Amino acid sequence: MVRWGQLLFNKDDRRHLHDELHSLLPTSRDNAVVSTIPAREVTLVAIRLKHQIEAVIPCELEVEKITRAHSSVITPAVIATAKSAGKVGSASEDHGACVVYCLLVCKKWFKRQATLELWDADLHAVRAVACEVMAKLIIEAEEDVGYLLQEVLLKRYSILVDGEETMPANVVERAVDLHALRVIGSSGYQKCVNYLWRGWLVQDDDDPSRFVDYKEKISTSYWVHFDPDRLRVPMYQNTIQIAFSVIYLALYTGAINSINPSGDLDIVEGLLYVFTFGFICDEVAKFWKVGRWYLGFWNIYNSTLYALLVVSFVTRMIALGHPIGDERRFRFNVLSYNFLAFSAPMFWTRLLLYLDGFRFFGAMLVVLKVMMRESLIFFLLLLVVLVGFLQAFVGLDQVDNNLGATKFILKAMANAIMGSPEFDGFDGFAPPFGLILYYIFNFIIVVREYPLSHIPLRIMTPQRQTIPNQLTNTPTVLLNILIALYNSAYENITDNAIDEYMALFSQKTMQFVRAPDENVFIAPFNLIELFCLVLPFEWWMPAPAYARLNDYVMGFLYTPLLLVTAYLEMRTARVVSWNRRRGEADEDTVEEWEQLGESERAAGREGVDFEADGWAKRVLESKPNVVADAALVEVRELREEVAELKRMIEGIGGRG
């Protein structure tokens, strides 16, 4: 058994701290953020909760007993005890606001214990699930929305690891890092993410550890909302990125469909390379600030696309370096267009990166991401098999003193992987070893073809000729492994498609909220920031004056967008003001089933009153008890009847 002290203060945990922040971008002011509650107190609360969960779940249980509604394990008493973990004994301060954060810390600890203690992995996995369930119940039971958003979800806390404080983080960030789907799917969490996405909650400029309400949320003045600082709102940044991505794709389409025979750069192709340079600078800047933890699937994907475009641009410049009519100018010009055309699938696929805000594309991107990760197992197995067979074939080739067949071997193995094996030629490799080895290689690797059925069906063509029935591809050993991995990944994601989409959307929101730059210059506008603001002014201009200059430039560049967003926010402010006069939540909307009651109250009538017409009483009398199991309800009634019978017998005995 691993000692608790070793688990808490293990130096290897430093690496896991980076893993938790991998999916999010740190702000440039993260070093100034401190934990709201002392890290030692937060750590003590987490240890108390861990002790409680170990006592509540002393042995391995079915996950359904933990996650089911009205669980007999995670009872209201357990939740009440967990909420009191922030105030124990004679403590004068109540640290209950960090309980949800500490439950997520406990989830991380239990997941780590599951990897260290494989003999109890299932037990620790159930306890980790219990942490999520308890955190979700606490979030959804909190009625004070202001306290929930400001103190529970958005305040940043730290714990002690190896005697040092970890990077401060809040519940919203930690849940995304740990992929805690149940916490992310809670109503309070989604309300918080929605407020961040719409810009109703913004980071305080004076205290980076705090998020405050947008002060002008209820202002109906148009020009109040015409503010360049509102470009930090994730919803607006996402809109700008989608717009630039569509323009980028349009520029590429125009460039690839308008080939210049002379090889000169036209305005469309020039803008395409300017956009590409802006995107490259943006990627380099983020990698410089974040480090290697910034690298992910989409970053590598975009970098590959940009590399192809850079090669295309360089070859075009080499072509322009030769005179018109020169054969070398023509050859390099054709090579440049070939690289440009080769990147077309990546251009269109790149658009999916910015469409993940839509539910369908978001869920599918999660499936693709998981499938790509699972593919690593398959390709690792494939690589080992390929190296083994390649070494065998080359060895047989060397025995025959025929060293010129290596190219043929590589081509034949590649064709076999693609489903088109070539058996001719292997009978000359140390017969019969070469041909037998190639048969074995095909059995393991190749997709073999078998008829759809054993009945020799024939299909008649218009020319009165017959062709055999269509063949179906039957996967062999390694491809069966790949299909199984893909099937498992697809089922795991689609079974929780809604939660996975909400997790992806939350991660996207937090990336915008914690973007490294305080001034929003989205590529390719970052080139204007770099060459027109940073290099000539930032190094000598006072900070307030430089901030005003950035606001003026952003206001000029984003004027078309600000004209639209100011109008939309003005309309939203009217809705928020109306909801507050009604005593409802800011984002409340009147649905069809609520319209009758609203119209009745507006006309001065009482409206829909179920208590007055007796409907509520009738429903209460007829509703079933869904909290307790039906058998348990019957047992309780039987106990009451037995107790009553016992009292009757005792009464008869007393009179006798």
**For the segment 107-157, what is each residue's pLDDT rounded down to a tens digit?**
999 999 999 989 989 999 999 999 999 999 999 998 888 899 988 999 889
pLDDT at 308: 93
d(CA 85, CA 95): 8
Residue 19 has pLDDT above 60, yes or no: no
Contact 291, 336 (CB under 8 A): no
d(CA 362, CA 567): 29
How many other C-beta atoms can be found within 10 angstroms of the C-beta atom of residue 45? Answer: 28
pLDDT band at 78 (very low <50, low <70, confident <90, very high): very high
The pTM score is 0.78
**For the segment 377-404, what is each residue's pLDDT rounded down to a tens digit?**
778 878 888 888 888 887 776 655 555 5
Secondary structure class of 50 (helix, strand, coil)? helix
Looking at per-residue pLDDT, the higher value among 350 and 49 belongs to: 49
Q: Tokens for 132?
A: 């999520």
pLDDT band at 474 (very low <50, low <70, confident <90, very high): very low
pLDDT band at 92 (very low <50, low <70, confident <90, very high): low
d(CA 175, CA 577): 32
Q: Tokens for 512?
A: 């915008």
d(CA 308, CA 304): 6
**For the segment 310-359, what is each residue's pLDDT rounded down to a tens digit?**
999 999 889 888 887 788 888 888 888 889 999 988 888 888 777 777 77
Q: Could you state, in order of their start, the residue ranges of all structural domains in the chain? A: 4-213, 258-354, 361-480, 615-655
Residue 470 has pLDDT above 50, yes or no: no
- Residue carrying structure tokens 């005697």: 163
- What is the CA angle 257-258-260, rounded to 5? 140
Strand partners, 165: 160
Q: For the chain, give percent helix, strand, coil, nearest 5.
A: 65, 5, 30
